Amino acid sequence: MVRTVRAHELAPTTEAWGVEAAGLRVKAGRHNAVNGLDLTLGTGVHGLLGPNGAGKTTLIRALATVIKPKEGRLRLLGFDATDRRSLRDLRSRLGYLPQSFGFYPGFTVRDYVEYMAWLREMPSASIADATQRAIDRVGLTDRAGSRLKSLSGGMLRRAGIAQAIVNEPDLLLLDEPTVGLDPEQRIEFRDLLRVLGADSCVLVSTHLVEDVVAACSDVVLLDAGRLVFQGLPADLSRLGEHDGAGDSPAERGYSVLLRNHRSVS
Ligand SMILES: Nc1ncnc2c1ncn2[C@@H]1O[C@H](COP(=O)(O)OP(=O)(O)OP(=O)(O)O)[C@@H](O)[C@H]1O
């Protein structure tokens, strides 16, 4: 007997992978900055590491649907990210903090976060509460009425994180979110990451291996646009127990992986 498949069975569910990429190629200018990447990410906090020019920002921009992949398959939250018809629904469930982001300097923190919530088509009635919650979560409660132009670099980045999480995204993409944060704020941010990663897929690019070890459930290492390693922070540290350059086992593990990868490619 042929069973009728109902619409809800085909609709994306929260169980869908956050990111499923196969043979992904993404250009930055003429350069293949992401070059045949296979990557699957589920719920959790994934730390994206790699040397300068590895393709981290280009990958994150493609996952944020800001640039279109040149080749390969890309599914995000169960949606085909290369299909224009999916983009509106998909974008309403994404959060994205770009490496450098534009803003109206005369906006207050609250104006900015509310504006970004509105751009993501959140229901108007929920925007004020969601904005307050996001501002509280990044520790900017007492600066909510301050103009963006008056904030320090670290506070501005926290305002950027607030706009990225205002819609409680299922897929959150953060490109170097800890740049400019003071040590106390970095520790608080790690706590926030753990909470966010409990029920959504969070990808965080950073150069700070120690942040990855402290706050991430797994490590993704890129070099020259390709996946070099995906595994637990403890696996990274184990690789650096007796070998490699760096001040901690994880930093040494990072250098061992890159060295081994480069010697065979
Ligand atoms: N607009 C562009 N035109 C040409 N090449 C580019 C462009 N943007 C990036 N690239 C190149 O693409 C590669 C990947 O860059 P990308 O910014 O994605 O790397 P990254 O890993 O984020 O680096 P970083 O750690 O320095 O931020 C680099 O070789 C870079 O020079």
Q: What angle do CA 212, 258, 188 make, to 5 degrees?
A: 10
* pLDDT tens-digit readout, 197-220: 999 999 999 999 999 999 999 999
How much is the average pLDDT of 144-164? 94
Concatenating the DSSP letter of every residue in 48-106 gives EE--TTSSHHHHHHHHTTSS--SEEEEEETTEETT-GGGHHHHHHTEEEE-SS----TT
- Nearest ligand 1 atom to the CA of 54 is 21
Take residue 112 and report the two structure tokens written for it.
């900015």
Band of pLDDT at residue 4, cut at 50, 70 and 90: low
How far, in Å, from the CA of 48 to the mean position of ligand 1?
15
Which residue minimizes the CA distance to atom 4 of ligand 1? 29
What's at 137, amino acid-wise?
Answer: R
Residue nearest to atom 6 of ligand 1 (CA): 28
Query: Which run of H or of E encompasses 76?
Result: strand 71-76
**pLDDT tens for each residue of 23-74:** 999 999 999 999 999 999 999 999 999 999 999 999 999 999 999 999 999 9
Pocket test for ligand 1, best of 57, 66, 179 (most atoms within 8 A of CB): 57
Of 46, 154, 219, nearest to 63 (Cα)? 46
**Cα–Cα distance measured from residue 198 to residue 188, given in angstroms and rounded to the nearest whole number:** 16
Q: Which residue has the tokens 């730390």?
A: 47
Q: What is the separation of C-alpha 151 from the centre of its chain, rounded to a whole number of angstroms?
A: 23
What type of residue is 192? L
Q: Which atom of ligand 1 is nearest to the CA of 207?
A: 25
Residue of 250, 246, 204 lying closest to 48 (CA atoms): 204
How far apart are the C-alpha atoms of 41 and 54, rounded to whole Å? 19
Q: What's the gap in Å between 55 CA and the centre of ligand 1?
A: 6
Predicted ipTM beyond 0.90 = yes
Which pair of tokens denotes residue 26?
């993404």
250 φ, ψ (degrees, to nearest 5): -70, -40
Protein residues with CB under 6 Å of any ligand 1 atom: 28-29, 31, 33, 50, 52-58
Interior CA angle at 50 toward 45 and 52, to 5°? 130
Half-sphere exposure of 162 (CA within 13 A, CB side): 32
Residue type (1 letter), 226? R
pLDDT tens-digit map of 15-25:
679 999 999 99
Using only the alpha carbons of the chain, give its radius of gyration. Answer: 19
**Hunting for tokens 């070890």 — which residue is that?**
213
Please check the confidence at residue 1 and state whether its pLDDT lies above 50: no
CATH superfamily, domain 16-93+171-193+200-265, is P-loop containing nucleotide triphosphate hydrolases (3.40.50.300)
Q: How far apart are CA 233 and CA 212, in angstroms?
A: 7
**Which residue minimizes the CA distance to atom 1 of ligand 1?**
29
Residue nearest to atom 16 of ligand 1 (CA): 55
CA–CA separation, 246 and 93 (whole Å): 38
pTM across the whole model: 0.91
Residue 6 has pLDDT above 70, yes or no: no
DSSP code string of 142-181:
GGTTSBGGGS-HHHHHHHHHHHHHTT--SEEEEESTTTT-
- What are the domain boundaries of the chain? 16-93+171-193+200-265, 100-168
Whether the per-residue pLDDT at 3 is higher than 80: the answer is: no
